[in-house]
Amino acid sequence: MSSSASRLISERFDTTGSCKKWALRSVSKPKNLIKPMKAITLQDNASKNPVPWLLTGYFEGEQRRLCPSFPGYSVTESGRLFTHRRKTGGAAKKLGVPTVVVDFSYEKELKRPYVDPKHPYVNYPICVNGKQRAIGIHRLLADAFFGPRQNGQVVRHLDDNPQNNHLSNLKYGTNKENAQDAIRNNKRKCNEDHHMSKLSNQDVREIRRLRHQKVTVPELKKMFGVCTATIEGVIYNRYYKDVI
């Protein structure tokens, strides 16, 4: 294929949106594509199986990839989102699954995100199965660079700032890991100032002192009127970590 030609990507998806196959054909070269596109294989961080992802190239010095679960969209490392011309492929009837053809000879950057004041995530209007939906840019970035999200996973902002959507600040994880991020970044209170706290900081210190003196967990439960999990969380420093 000549250097003046790029490629047209035919993405085959099953009903869950996971990528099954990439097919390549020549089309005219799009703007700002410094390196030719190529198919690469990364390891899915959830299933540990090799999965084909697509490296679309670089845009103004940033790596850019397709979003496999959202055909026709690509995103850069810093969260710049692009839409591309796409249409349903004629092979869809034979395959029995949706086939989307993405043409990189046309692209448009989406520059009008929506931020909900109550949930300050950066969302973009994305066309999914012919319907417009608001999708967080953090989800699109993780989908493009880490692969489709598995059941039970969430996209974590490592610094707990939902406005910081650079690839280096994102990672898949569980709700528990997401909560631990909040505590580590001092975004979630875990002492007597928390509105759900049943123990004062002095109670916490007393529980730890009494436990050191061999007072049993059932006895501590009765003394402070809380459950076993709370007492053990205090003793083993799972709760009230900032109380010394």
Distance CA 68, CA 20 (A): 10
Work out the number of other CB atoms within 10 angstroms of the CB of residue 25. 11
List pLDDT tens digits, range 153-195. 899 998 888 889 999 999 998 887 877 777 676 655 554 444 4
Q: Average of pLDDT values for 60-86? A: 86
Instruction: Look up residue 168 and give its DSSP letter.
Output: G
Distance CA 177, CA 183 (A): 10
pLDDT band at 6 (very low <50, low <70, confident <90, very high): very low
For residue 71, is pLDDT > 50? yes
pLDDT of the residue at 88? 57
| Strands 99-110 vs 114-115: parallel, antiparallel or unpaired | unpaired
Work out the number of other CB atoms within 10 angstroms of the CB of residue 167. 20
C-alpha 215: how far from chain center? 45
Question: Could you write out the DSSP letters of every residue in 13-28?
Answer: E-TT--EEEEEEEEEE
High-pLDDT (> 70) share of the chain, %: 61
Distance CA 196, CA 190 (A): 9
For residue 212, is pLDDT > 80? yes
Q: How far is CA 183 from CA 153, 156, 176, 189, 220, in A?
A: 19, 13, 11, 7, 26
The sign of the torsion formed by the CA atoms of 50, 55, 61, 67 equals negative
Q: Which of 28, 1, 24, 29 is nearest to 12 (CA)?
A: 24
What one-letter code names the amino acid at 146? F
- Note whether 43 and 50 are within 8 A (CB): yes
Distance CA 239, CA 191 (A): 8
pLDDT of the residue at 75? 92
For residues 105 and 89, which has the higher predicted lDDT (pLDDT)? 105
